[in-house]
Amino acid sequence: MDKKCTFIYLKKGCPQLNKTTVLKHYDLIIKIYRLDGGFRFPIMERAWKLGIKGYIKKDGSGRYSIEAEGEEALIADFIEYCKKGPIGSPVSSFQINEGNVVNYDSFDIR
Tens of pLDDT, residues 68-93 = 999 999 999 999 999 998 888 889 99
Residue 20, SS3 per DSSP: coil
**14 with 47: CB under 8 angstroms?**
no
CA distance 77 to 26: 13
pLDDT tens by residue, 5-48: 434 334 444 444 445 678 999 999 999 887 666 889 999 999 99
Residue 94, SS3 per DSSP: strand
Domains of the chain, each with CATH number or no CATH: 20-109 (3.30.70.100)
Q: How many CB atoms lie within 10 A of CB 73?
A: 11
Give 15's Cβ-side CA count (13 Å radius): 1
